[in-house]
Amino acid sequence: MPDNGYIALLVGVAAAITWLLRALPFAGLAPMRDSEVVKYLGIHMPLGVMVMLTIYTLRPGVTAGGIGVLWLALAVLITAGLHCWRGQALLSIVGGTAVYVVLMTWL
């Protein structure tokens, strides 16, 4: 079994590497704050991420087929409707999820 000094050295090296890896993005971000590319990505990236997450989330339900696709489409429409009506993400997510769960229990 390794001695305590060796274990302490390993923990220290792991902590230093972890700290450096977490600090590196912030150090690299400072010179890019005025970049046009970063500004463009800041505007358009959230929509792209949400589209990707939506596709990733809905894909298994759509490929399963059957009446579940109808329930899924209804839940998505209700979620979008709630969000357009009230503009609150939490209400939209909880409402759409609740509708989908209730509909799937009837399946």
| Residue 107 pLDDT exceeds 80 | no
4 and 22 co-located in one domain:
yes
> Tell me: the pLDDT tens digits for 25-47?
888 877 888 888 888 888 888 88
- Name 89's Cβ contacts closer than 8 Å, sequence gap at least 6: 83
64 and 101 co-located in one domain:
yes
65 and 16 co-located in one domain:
no
2 and 26 co-located in one domain:
yes
For the chain, the domain total comes to 2
Distance between CA 6 and CA 51 in Å, rounded? 48
Q: Are 54 and 36 in contact (CB under 8 A)?
A: no
42 and 23 co-located in one domain:
no
Distance between CA 58 and CA 106 in Å, rounded? 19
29 and 40 co-located in one domain:
no
| Residue 1 pLDDT exceeds 80 | no
| Residue 58 pLDDT exceeds 90 | no
User: Which residue segment(s) compose the domain that 94 sits in?
Assistant: 35-107
39 and 28 co-located in one domain:
no
What average pLDDT does the segment 80-85 reach?
A: 93
> Tell me: the pLDDT tens digits for 7-28?
999 999 999 999 999 998 888 8
43 and 74 co-located in one domain:
yes
